Copies of this chain bind each other. A is one copy, B any other.
Amino acid sequence: MGHKLDDTIALLSRTPATFDALLRNLPEGWTQSNEGDGTFTAYEVVGHLIYADREDWIPRARRILEHGEAKAFDPFDRRGHVKQIAAKSLPQLLDEFRQVRDEALDQLRGLNLRAQDMERRGRHPALGTVTMSELLATWAAHDLTHLHQVSRIMAHQYREVVGPFAEYLGVMKCGGHGG
């Protein structure tokens, strides 16, 4: 599968509804539990996705268009969502994610990227040169990495109660790979 922007947008547009279907009104044992000290709950993952849509993807795409490699992306704060989600309920975050994502996709379409724009280069503060195409494909893959994470966080809560069946459940063997 090469990178077609339409494929990326198709995935990005579905993610808020996917998390909504999975998490809304689910018992808190599933949504407010993590995998241990310093790890995310499913609730926090939704907050992180909101924060990334506001602070990361579109601002970086604009940076490429405006400055190319001359000005590196601002660093992204992996815990930047913490203050923003304080006192919000999970249903509120799910509503906000849908709204923020819709706005971000409108902004993306508003950039009117042509095929040649996808090859434009920017500078990541740690990774160095990256292309617009790589940045936008990563936005979609980032959704998937967090869906993967949420399924693992939730499965972790049942690690004990499945007893010997754990052997057959791949997700129980997933160490996380840093996210």
Residues of A within 8 A of B (CB): 1-4, 6-7, 10-11, 14-15, 17-18, 20-22, 26-27, 29-30, 33, 124, 127-128, 130-131, 133-135, 137-138, 140-142, 144-145, 147-149, 151-152, 154-155, 157-158, 161-165, 167-174, 176-179
Residue from B131, B135, B165 within 8 A of A138 (CB atoms): B165
Knowing A14-B21, A29-B1, the reply to whether A148 touches B161 (Cβ < 8 A) is no
Whether A171 pairs with B141 at a CB distance below 8 angstroms is: yes
Measured CA separation A170–B162 after assembly (Å): 25
Complex alpha-carbon distance, A157 and B172, angstroms: 23
Nearest Cβ on chain B to A25's Cβ, whole angstroms: 8
Please give me the residue from chain B that is nearest to A17 by CB atom: B21
| Neighbouring B residues of A18 by C-beta, 8 Å | 18, 21-22
Determine the main DSSP class of A at the interface with B. Answer: helix
Task: Verify B134–A144 contact, CB threshold 8 A.
Answer: no
A170–B177 contact, CB under 8 A? yes
Copies of this chain in its oligomeric complex: 2
In the bound complex, residues from chain B placing their C-beta under 8 Å from that of A145 are: 151, 155, 169-172
Known: A18-B21, A142-B169, A170-B179. 14 other contacts (CB 8 A): A7-B30, A18-B18, A21-B21, A127-B165, A134-B162, A137-B158, A137-B161, A137-B165, A138-B169, A140-B158, A151-B151, A168-B178, A170-B176, A174-B177
Is the pair B1, A164 in contact by a Cβ cutoff of 8 Å? no
Is the pair B167, A177 in contact by a Cβ cutoff of 8 Å? no
**Do residues B170 and A148 form an inter-chain contact, with CB atoms below 8 A?**
yes
Q: Are B171 and A178 in contact (CB under 8 A)?
A: no
